[in-house]
């Protein structure tokens, strides 16, 4: 019986990323920004594989899923992240997996991806995914080698695409499966070669910092500027302040162990709290404001207009360059407000905002607008004296 190892999984994910590097511009031609958003989500997903010592397929799949969920950009990126989340759920606790187990985990991933898409219409991804699940079913049941399962799935996806015409969603499914198959065989273009061309987004830009770390250092033996510098180097967001004889640290990082190692030398630790922000959790309640408005701006001019209209938190992004789920969640963890109203100005990242709300819970209210001007009008109804769930934004 064939065994799929962590090394096999690494090659499949790397192959999928390589395939998107080659095809993302063609996907963009079918639907603006879908290819770029998928590629950048894929870039975030592969970054944890760079230096990890974890050899188990279950642990690697979970790391990839965490990074993909937090680094997801655009509607297409959220769907891809959910595919990884389902695969990780199917491989949880496994060091190796049989081809049948991996095939079932892959079908599990398709189900997760379908859940985040609208159920009121047959979008192309759902149609193609259903064809994939049906096409690979017999190969999985017969415990065929994983290469044959992927071939059956890819053939089904290609048939569905041919029958229904080229579409971004269908092409993303085909591209992912083809990349996994080529990666498994080792027959793919090295991402390093493609990246050297210089015209594609670098995955290091999309490396996620999904862990929120809060702690206090008693009797600190370090200078505050030095500690700030070290914490800044390990995080995407950091606050280091002296208060009542202790130093309080709040940061977002992907290397919790390094953070703890660093601060252990500065004094005694207490009140250490670690939150995986890529999983559903509750926001910290110690904040300056009751409720704050968060919106997305493409440039300084838009940011100024949003602030004048009442937005307190500005995240960078546009329809062609969606903010990531992690950027929205990280902004909400800045200790500014107890709850947030998040304003989306483009349909191309509505799923990103919905995913952020799933992670942050009922302290977040969404206003899914279609245009920037609609956001400006909606902000005029915002009240900072209410709460996110029962504020005047509903009027």
Q: What is the mean pLDDT of the chain?
A: 87
The whole-number pLDDT of residue 51 equals 76
Tell me whether residue 106 is in a domain.
yes
pLDDT bin (cut points 50, 70, 90) of residue 290 is confident
Tell me whether residue 283 is in a domain.
no
Examine the domain organization and report whether 125 and 17 are in the same domain: yes
- From CA 262, how far away is CA 231, in angstroms rounded? 9
Which of 172, 205, 238 is where one domain is finished?
Answer: 205
Sign of CA dihedral 51, 52, 56, 57: negative
Examine the domain organization and report whether 272 and 363 are in the same domain: no
Q: Which residue has the higher pLDDT, 342 or 115?
A: 342
Q: Are strands 289-297 and 313-316 parallel, antiparallel or unpaired?
A: parallel
Sign of CA dihedral 58, 60, 63, 69: negative
pLDDT bin (cut points 50, 70, 90) of residue 165 is confident
Which of 182, 205, 228 is where one domain is finished?
Answer: 205
Model confidence pLDDT, tens digit, residues 97-108: 998 899 899 889
Model confidence pLDDT, tens digit, residues 249-272: 999 999 898 899 888 888 889 899
Percentage of the chain surpassing pLDDT 90?
53
The whole-number pLDDT of residue 155 equals 94
Examine the domain organization and report whether 222 and 270 are in the same domain: yes
CATH number of the domain enclosing 192? 1.25.40.340
Report, as an integer, the average pLDDT of 317-329: 92
Model confidence pLDDT, tens digit, residues 202-225: 788 889 999 999 999 988 777 888
Overall domain count for the chain: 3
Examine the domain organization and report whether 232 and 315 are in the same domain: no
Element spanning 241, H or E: strand 237-243
The whole-number pLDDT of residue 395 equals 32
Element spanning 160, H or E: helix 146-164
pTM exceeds cut of 0.75:
yes
The whole-number pLDDT of residue 393 equals 40
The whole-number pLDDT of residue 191 equals 57
Do residues 340 and 364 touch, judged by C-beta distance below 8 A?
A: yes
The whole-number pLDDT of residue 392 equals 37
Model confidence pLDDT, tens digit, residues 88-98: 999 999 999 99
The answer on pLDDT for 59 being more than 60 is yes
- From CA 150, how far away is CA 144, in angstroms rounded? 10
The whole-number pLDDT of residue 390 equals 40
pLDDT bin (cut points 50, 70, 90) of residue 44 is very high
The whole-number pLDDT of residue 391 equals 40
- C-alpha closest to that of 254 among 279, 276, 222: 276
Give the residue numbers spanning the domain of 119. 3-205
Element spanning 274, H or E: strand 268-276
Report, as an integer, the average pLDDT of 193-205: 63
């Amino acid at each position: 019986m064939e065994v799929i190892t962590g090394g096999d999984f690494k090659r499949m994910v790397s192959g999928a990323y390589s395939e998107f590097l080659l095809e993302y511009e063609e996907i963009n031609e079918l639907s603006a920004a879908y290819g770029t958003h998928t590629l950048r989500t894929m870039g975030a997903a592969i970054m944890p594989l760079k230096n990890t010592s974890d050899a188990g397929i279950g642990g690697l799949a979970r790391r990839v899923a965490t990074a993909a969920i937090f680094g997801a950009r655009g509607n297409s990126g959220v769907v891809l992240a959910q595919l990884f989340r389902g695969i990780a759920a199917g491989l949880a606790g496994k060091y190796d997996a049989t081809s049948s187990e991996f095939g079932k985990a892959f079908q599990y991933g398709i189900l997760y991806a379908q859940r985040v898409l609208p159920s009121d219409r047959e979008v192309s991804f759902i149609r193609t995914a259903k064809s994939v699940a049906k096409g690979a079913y017999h190969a999985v049941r017969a415990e065929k080698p994983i290469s044959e399962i992927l071939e059956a799935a890819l053939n089904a996806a290609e048939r569905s695409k041919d029958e229904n015409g080229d579409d971004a969603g269908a092409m993303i499914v085909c591209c992912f499966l083809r990349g996994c198959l080529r990666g498994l065989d080792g027959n793919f273009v090295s991402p390093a070669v493609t990246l050297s061309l210089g015209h594609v987004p670098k995955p290091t830009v999309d490396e996620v910092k999904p862990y929120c770390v809060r702690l206090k250092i008693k009797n600190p033996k370090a200078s505050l500027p030095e500690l700030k510098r070290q914490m800044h180097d390990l995080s995407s967001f950091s606050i280091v302040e002296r208060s009542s004889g202790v130093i309080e640290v709040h940061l977002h990082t992907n290397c919790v162990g390094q953070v703890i190692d660093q601060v252990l030398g500065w004094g005694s630790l207490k009140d250490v709290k670690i939150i995986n922000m890529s999983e559903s959790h509750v926001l910290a309640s110690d904040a300056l404001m009751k409720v704050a408005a968060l919106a997305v701006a493409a440039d300084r001019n838009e940011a100024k207009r949003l602030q004048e209209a009442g937005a307190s938190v500005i995240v960078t992004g546009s329809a062609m360059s969606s903010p990531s789920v992690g950027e929205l969640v990280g902004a909400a963890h800045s200790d500014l407000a107890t709850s947030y109203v998040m304003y989306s100005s483009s349909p191309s990242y509505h799923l990103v905002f919905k995913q952020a709300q799933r992670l942050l819970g009922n302290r977040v209210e969404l206003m899914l607008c279609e245009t920037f001007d609609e956001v400006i009008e909606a902000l005029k109804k915002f009240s900072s004296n209410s709460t996110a769930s029962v504020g005047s934004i509903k009027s």
